[in-house]
């Protein structure tokens, strides 16, 4: 399967998983000058910025998460929050959804490296 297509499918699956957990999807593939955020979602007073990784196995998903990517997402999230100031008082979290083969997607909360 083409890599770009896998990414779209992975993001769709991740969005469904988050909706099942009660999140409202605010944006998908949110582009900024610093980079792209795969999914932005909210539940109650919590806003999450989500990176989605699709690989053949779970270890490759974990290996694909780099400090540089996390920093890119943080910078992009700051731009989002400047444009959408009403989220300024919300709790902010950075998550990852890992999709490996035919396994159930893994939602890793509060990712820090």
Rounded to whole angstroms, how far apart are CA atoms 19 and 42? 10
Place of tokens 């998983």: 17
Rounded to two decimals, what is the model's pTM? 0.91
Q: Are 47 and 40 in contact (CB under 8 A)?
A: yes
Q: For residue range 67-81, list pLDDT tens digits in order.
A: 888 899 999 999 999
Domain annotation for the chain: domains and CATH numbers:
3-108 (3.40.1350.10)
Beta strand 35-43 with 24-32 is antiparallel
Q: For residue range 41-59, list pLDDT tens digits in order.
A: 999 999 999 999 999 988 8
Q: What is the CA radius of gyration of the chain?
A: 13
């Amino acid at each position: 399967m083409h890599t770009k297509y896998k990414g779209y499918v992975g993001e769709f699956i991740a969005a469904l998983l988050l909706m099942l957990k009660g999140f409202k999807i605010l944006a998908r593939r949110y582009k900024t000058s610093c980079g792209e955020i795969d999914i932005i979602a909210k539940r109650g007073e919590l806003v999450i910025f989500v990176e989605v990784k699709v690989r053949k196995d779970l270890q490759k998903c974990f290996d694909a998460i780099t400090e540089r990517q996390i920093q890119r997402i943080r910078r992009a999230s700051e731009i989002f929050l400047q444009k959408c100031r009403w989220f300024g008082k919300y709790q902010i979290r950075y998550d990852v959804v890992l999709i490996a083969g035919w396994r159930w997607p893994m939602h890793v909360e509060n990712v820090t490296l």
